[in-house]
Structure 1
Amino acid sequence: MTTQRRYDIDWLRVIAIALLLIYHIAIVFQPWAMFLGFIKSNELMEGLWKPMSLLNVWRIPFLFYVSGMGVYFAIRKRNWKQLLMERSKRILLPFLFGMVAIVPLHFLIFQAYYHLPLGYVPHPAHLWFLGNIFAYVLLLTPLFFFLKKSERGRFKRKLEAFMGNPFGPLSLSLLFVLEVLLVKPQVFEMYALTWHGFFLGLLAFFCGFLLVYSGKAFWETILKWRWAYLALALGFYLTRLLVFDLAAPGYLLAIESNTWIFAIFGFGYKYLNKPSVLLSYLSQAAYPVYIIHMVALHAAAWVILPLNLPVLLKFIGIVGFTAGFCFVVFEFLIRRIPFLRPLFGLSWDFKKAATKSISVSASTQKI
């Protein structure tokens, strides 16, 4: 069974990772940065947080949606044993390696910067996301393969018809509203290592699978109604900003989050479903960059924050340093050294992966 690769989903994943880097760098310039384990700038840019707050209700749920979609594509050509083995290599191995080899580096940079006693206890830090995804795969694999076997059944037909209605995707927001009402998170945007983050991620992961499973009707719906979803998202955000001073109730944030996500999927499907050599490279880089970016960010803060520069130049400098650091480490170490590749979620064979990536991009230029 073959499936056409969805380049828009690849592009959106790359863009989401890039936004995550900028989001984390913005935290450095907020007064509460140290509370989250970030080195804090003495000169703040609190105004920067308003545009960042537009991202923080959907950036993590969006990545969980995309991860669930990825599992759907994976099981089209794998049985459950192959799926678990593949996900163990691609997710569990980098997660465990990261906790013992990557996370300690940025913890030690933070401790050294503030002249704290050096020490480390195994901690997932920003890699909590990978731990959650692997748990979701273990929990939901039986259900996913049950749905795969009944792909021509009544449930699939009804789901496809339901997603052909613009209220179909939006109705999924009710699940996220229910999660907020039951879990009662103190802060909606605090996803890392919380029960709220775990259950919200589980819902987004499952819904991502269901949306792709439902077939073309979902994509036609979000394509047609993308502007309406965007208008709703902007309306919810402006309400949060102007009425609630960014502290809206969790149930409103749950709805806003999903309207952003469906708008993004709609515009991505319209404009980004195209292959390119650049996409092939960035898709391969996104995962390793996610794993190493906190080391790069802390190193950048260590070097740039003490400099006698305007705060805006410091922000730009940290963005550039972090991006450059990640590029150099990925391009000249992770990508080219065979034993490092699987530790960052890549296949062993660099030359084979590069050849396959280029050939796929070249052949699909004709589509």
Structure 2
Amino acid sequence: MTHERRYDIDWLRVIAIGFLLIYHIAIIFQPWAMFVGFVRSPELMESLWVPMTALNVWRIPLLFFVSGMGVYFALRKRNWKQLLRERTQRILLPFLFGVVAITPLHMYIFQGFYNMPLSYFPHLGHLWFLGNIFVYVLLLSPFFFYLKMHPEGRLKKGLSILMSNPLGPISVSVFFIAEVMLVKPQLFELYAETWHGFFLGLLAFLFGFLFVYTGKAFWQTMLKWRWAYLGLALLLYGMRYFIFGFNAPGYLMVVESNSWIFALFGLSYRYLNRPSALLRYLSEAAYPVYIIHMFVLYAGAYLILPLEIPVLIKFIGVVLFTGVFCYLIFELLIRRIGILRPLFGLKPKTGKGMSDMIVKVPRSQRMGSLKDGA
């Protein structure tokens, strides 16, 4: 069976991880950086906080939505044993390896930056996201396989009707609002290693799957109403900025977050759903770069922040350092050394070069290394 390749979803994952890197770099230049375990620049750029707050409410939920979509695509050609085996290899293995071998590296740099005694301890760090995703797969797989066995069931028909209305996608915000009211997070944007982040991620992962399961009705709504969703997101962000001082009530934050995400779904479906050599490369690179970016970022900050140069140049320098060295580590080590590939979520290396493999594998079997990944 031939399946439609969704290049726009590949692009969304790449873009979200790109924003994640820039956001993490911007934290270094905020006054509260050290309180969340980041090195802090002696000169600050607090003006960055304005665009950071626009990203904050949707950047992590978007990754959860897209990860749920990835499971839908994976299920089309896997049974439950194959899915769990693949997710163990592609998510759990990199997660466990990262906790003991990757996240301690940026803590070493943090300790060195502040002249603290060096000590080693495994910890989740930014890889908490992978741990959550693996748990979601375990919890929701029975339901997902039930839906796979009933591809034209009542739920799909009901969802198709609901998602044909522009208010249908927005209506799922009720579940996210209930999560905020029940969990009562200290900050809506505090996702890492919190119950709020866990349950919000679970909902986003579930609905990401259901949106793709619904079929064309959902995507046609995203396409037709993308500018309306964007307008709603901008309106709610304006209210959060001018009226609430960035600390809007949880129910408004939920609707704003989902509006940004639906606008991105529609825009990417319209403008990014096409193949390219750049996308093939970035799709493979995004997952390993996500895993390694923190210690590379900290290394760049360690070298650049003490320099007597303007703070804007420091920010640009850390961005360039992180991008260049993440690329070099991926291209020269992770991508080419067979034993490293599974540790960073990549498929084992074959006897052929990667470029040959990309060209010759049938399209129906190539979903992109991250679409079926964490």
1:100 is the counterpart of 2:100: yes
What does 1:1-367 correspond to in 2, within 5 Å? 1-349=1-349, 351=352, 353-359=354-360
- How far the C-alpha of 1:120 sits from its partner, in A, is 2.6
Contact 1:342 1:348 in 2 (8 A): yes
Q: Secondary structure at the match of 1:274?
A: coil
Which stretch shifts more, 112-121 or 239-248?
Answer: 112-121
- How far the C-alpha of 1:356 sits from its partner, in A, is 3.1
- How far the C-alpha of 1:248 sits from its partner, in A, is 0.7
Letter in 2 for 1:40: R
- How far the C-alpha of 1:327 sits from its partner, in A, is 0.3
Contact 1:276 1:361 in 2 (8 A): no
Superimposed CA distance per residue, residues 186-245 of structure 1 (whole angstroms, 9 cap, x where no aligned partner): 100000000000000000000000000000100000100000000000000000000011
- How far the C-alpha of 1:121 sits from its partner, in A, is 2.4
Letter in 2 for 1:215: G
Which stretch shifts more, 151-160 or 62-71?
Answer: 151-160
Change (3 A) 1:362 1:81: closer
Counterparts of 1:87 and 1:221 in 2: how far apart (Å)? 31
Counterparts of 2:172 and 2:268 in 1: how far apart (Å)? 20
Counterparts of 2:226 and 2:199 in 1: how far apart (Å)? 27
Contact 1:293 1:326 in 2 (8 A): yes
- How far the C-alpha of 1:352 sits from its partner, in A, is 5.7
Letter in 1 for 2:117: P
Which stretch shifts more, 118-127 or 169-178?
Answer: 118-127
Q: What is the total number of aligned residue pairs between the two structures?
A: 364
- How far the C-alpha of 1:2 sits from its partner, in A, is 3.3
Counterparts of 2:328 and 2:245 in 1: how far apart (Å)? 40
Aligned sequence identity (%): 67
Counterparts of 1:2 and 1:194 in 2: how far apart (Å)? 40
Q: CA RMSD in A?
A: 1.4
Q: Secondary structure at the match of 1:196?
A: helix
Contact 1:65 1:206 in 2 (8 A): yes
Superimposed CA distance per residue, residues 43-73 of structure 1 (whole angstroms, 9 cap, x where no aligned partner): 0000111011100000000000000000000
Contact 1:280 1:361 in 2 (8 A): no
- How far the C-alpha of 1:362 sits from its partner, in A, is 9.1
Q: Secondary structure at the match of 1:40?
A: coil
Letter in 2 for 1:355: D
Letter in 2 for 1:90: R
Contact 2:64 2:205 in 1 (8 A): yes
Gaps of 5+ in 1: none
- How far the C-alpha of 1:155 sits from its partner, in A, is 1.5
Letter in 1 for 2:139: L
Q: Secondary structure at the match of 1:292?
A: helix
Counterparts of 2:28 and 2:234 in 1: how far apart (Å)? 26
Contact 1:280 1:358 in 2 (8 A): no
Counterparts of 1:101 and 1:206 in 2: how far apart (Å)? 31
Letter in 2 for 1:71: V
- How far the C-alpha of 1:358 sits from its partner, in A, is 2.9
- How far the C-alpha of 1:162 sits from its partner, in A, is 1.1
Superimposed CA distance per residue, residues 96-147 of structure 1 (whole angstroms, 9 cap, x where no aligned partner): 0001110111010100111112113221100000000000000000000011
Counterparts of 1:152 and 1:352 in 2: how far apart (Å)? 41
- How far the C-alpha of 1:153 sits from its partner, in A, is 1.4
Contact 2:5 2:364 in 1 (8 A): no
- How far the C-alpha of 1:309 sits from its partner, in A, is 0.5
The residue that corresponds to 2:370 in the other structure is: none
Letter in 2 for 1:12: L
Q: Secondary structure at the match of 2:121?
A: coil
Counterparts of 2:132 and 2:182 in 1: how far apart (Å)? 20
What is the TM-score of this pair, normalised by structure 2?
0.95
Counterparts of 1:131 and 1:29 in 2: how far apart (Å)? 28
What is the TM-score of this pair, normalised by structure 1?
0.97
